[in-house]
Amino acid sequence: MTVTISAAINSDRLWQRHMDMAEIGATQAGGVHRLALTDEDIEAHKLLMQWASTRGFSVELDAIGNMFIRRQGRDPSLAPVASGSHTDTQPKGGRFDGIFGVLAAFEALEAIDDAGIKTERPIEVIAWNNEEGPRFVPACMGSAAYAGVEPLDAMLASQDPDGISMGECVEALKAAMPEAGVRRLGAPLHSFVEAHIEQGVELEANGNTIGIVTGMQGYRRFRVTVTGEDAHSGTTPRSRRRDSFVAATDMAVALRALLWDNEDIVRFTIGRFEVFPCGISVVPGRVEFTIDLRHPVAETLHTLGDRISDICAAHAGPCEVKVREFINSDPMAFPDSMVSQIETAANRRGFAHQRIYSAASHDARHISTLCPAGMIFIPCWRGISHNEAERAEPEDIAAAAQIIADLFVELGNA
């Protein structure tokens, strides 16, 4: 009879690592503010490196700042089995979005190590750089560059609002982790599984612990710049104004008229709206705003997204308008092989589970173009995320880590 040693997750250790990480960039209201490759995010990478070194796991960084923590296999030449997510957060984000997927994978690696289980393949934990994208665009930059979906040079040249380039930040990360090795960008992966909080209400409503993700909806992101003319608010009559705020708000209302569907399936968000020069008695000469548009049907996403420029132009009035699209990712489906393998692992462990579609976007989208990929969701309280009040439960976190540990062993010997 073959006794399969199973790697037992240490739930307390895993929860404590979440609390340790939540200290880095902690906000007054109990959230985390840790934008990509800021000092705080580099500190989070260094803490991961410290934990990895204690276990004798090796660490590498690639040219776009992705981090790879490796437990060697019997045959180091084989492509690794990997799991992970991101360490960066939204501005005033939560304590679980992203970091949970990194820490669950790390705990799975430790559990395998504690059990003394050998795998044929190397096993890796990956922290993808700049998944969220509020500091540098586009989002999912690290995984997109790794998968060759975005060109490395353009990504390194991306600048934050202060004019600091991603390239400078990657150099700062490398300088902070001199003992890290070099990973070739795009080196093969055997398979990849990402654990993430659902950021929706379905699992919680159904009382399920585990969501086996079948795919994710598509999304397009735009930056709209409306240019008018700064003017005196007292002496300038409407007839002589080129008021960019008036034009931009007209555009927003017109976009809503197009994009608010009756079925409430389209996701249309203006998350950033900046008025310049932002003076009480100055007619604004410039407005910049962003559009985040999502839909599960590619054709609908294309049709609606392609209307945005015309609608903005039609409502520009006396102003100029420039619409720049910086993300355009179609809906995607994970391979049945991975969905079934994750489902079988959840079944074997007896976790309450269901298949689920992701309304949020994740790094696994891009890695799925490189190798068989899949995702595991756990519930988060009232579906709240991108919010300091974000919350997940230790037992759900441990359940996901347990499935990853089981998959690491299965896929690591496949």
**Nearer to ligand HGY (CB atom), residue 176 or residue 270:** 270
Picking from 283, 293, 300, 295, the residue whose alpha carbon sits closest to that of residue 248 is 283
- Closest separation between CB of residue 313 and ligand HGY, Å? 27
Q: Which of 125, 139, 248, 319 binds ligand HGY (CB under 6 A)?
A: 139
Per-residue contact track with ligand HGY, 302 to 341, x per CB under 6 A?
----------------------------------------
**82-111 residues near Mn ion, rule: CB under 5 A:** 97-98
Name which of ligand HGY, Mn ion, none residue 21 binds, using a CB cut-off of 5 to 8 Å depending on partner kind: none
Look at residue 223 and give its three-state secondary structure.
Answer: strand
Answer positive or negative: Cα dihedral of 26, 29, 31, 33. Answer: negative
Of the chain, the end-to-end C-alpha distance in Å amounts to 20
In 3D space, the residue among 398, 374, 396 whose CA is nearest the CA of residue 213 turns out to be 374
Kindly tell me which of 40 and 97 has the beta carbon lying closer to Mn ion: 97
Residues 6+ apart with CB under 8 A from 171: none
Q: Binders of ligand HGY: how many residues, by CB under 6 A? A: 5
Select from ligand HGY, Mn ion, none the partner in contact with residue 160, using the beta carbon and a kind-dependent cut-off of 5 to 8 Å: none
The residue among 97 and 243 lying less far from Mn ion, judged by its C-beta, is 97
Closest separation between CB of residue 376 and Mn ion, Å? 13
Only segment of 33-41, 131-139, 159-167, 245-253 that touches ligand HGY (CB under 6 A):
131-139
Phi, psi angle pair for 317, to nearest 5°: 60, -135
**Is residue 301 a contact point for ligand HGY (CB under 6 A)?**
no
- The reply on whether position 360 binds ligand HGY by CB under 6 A is yes
**Partner in contact with 139, chosen from ligand HGY, Mn ion, none, beta carbon below 5 to 8 Å by kind:** ligand HGY
Q: Output the CA–CA distances (angstroms, integers) from residue 229 to 60, 274, 312, in the order listed.
A: 50, 15, 18
Minimum distance between the CB of residue 365 and Mn ion, rounded to whole angstroms? 11
Task: Tell which positions 21-60 bind Mn ion, by CB under 5 A.
Answer: none
The structure tokens listed for 289 are 């705003």
Interaction between residue 383 and Mn ion (CB under 5 A)? no
Q: For the stretch 310-320, what's the b/e string if a residue is b when 16 or more beta carbons lie within 10 angstroms of its beta carbon?
A: ebbeebbbebe
Neighbours of 285 (CB within 10 A): 19
CA-based nearest residue to 287, from 232, 245, 252, 241: 245
Gap between the Cα atoms of 209 and 195, Å rounded: 12
Binding site for ligand HGY (CB under 6 A): 131-132, 139, 360-361
